[in-house]
Amino acid sequence: MRDLSRDNRYLSINTATFGGQWDLTRIVDGLGRHGIPGISPWRDQVQALGLRESVRLVKDHGLVVTGLCRGGMFTALDRAGLAKALDDNRRAVDEAAALGARCLVLVVGGLIPHSRDVIAARALVREGIAALLPHARAAGVPLAIEPLHPMYAADRACINTLAQANDICDELGEGMGVAIDVYHTWWDPALAAEIARAGKGGRILAFHISDWLVPTTDLLYDRGMMGDGVIDLPGLRSLVEENGFDGFCEVEIFSRDNWWKRPPDEILATVSERFRTVC
In the complex, which residues of this chain contact Zn ion (CB under 5 A)? 181, 208, 252
Kindly tell me which of 149 and 208 has the beta carbon lying closer to Zn ion.
208
Residue 112: helix, strand or coil by DSSP? coil
Kindly tell me which of 82 and 144 has the beta carbon lying closer to Zn ion.
144
- Euclidean distance between CA atoms 185 and 191, whole angstroms: 7
- Euclidean distance between CA atoms 243 and 132, whole angstroms: 27
What are phi and psi for residue 249, nearest 5 degrees?
-90, 120
Shortest distance (Å) from residue 207 CB to Zn ion: 9
Residue count (the chain): 279
Are 230 and 214 a contacting pair, CB within 8 Å?
A: yes
Shortest distance (Å) from residue 263 CB to Zn ion: 24
Shortest distance (Å) from residue 183 CB to Zn ion: 7
Kindly tell me which of 147 and 175 has the beta carbon lying closer to Zn ion.
147
- Euclidean distance between CA atoms 187 and 171, whole angstroms: 25
Dihedral sign for Cα 180, 182, 183, 186, please. positive
Kindly tell me which of 95 and 252 has the beta carbon lying closer to Zn ion.
252
Shortest distance (Å) from residue 178 CB to Zn ion: 11
Shortest distance (Å) from residue 253 CB to Zn ion: 10
Are 97 and 140 a contacting pair, CB within 8 Å?
A: yes
Kindly tell me which of 31 and 180 has the beta carbon lying closer to Zn ion.
180
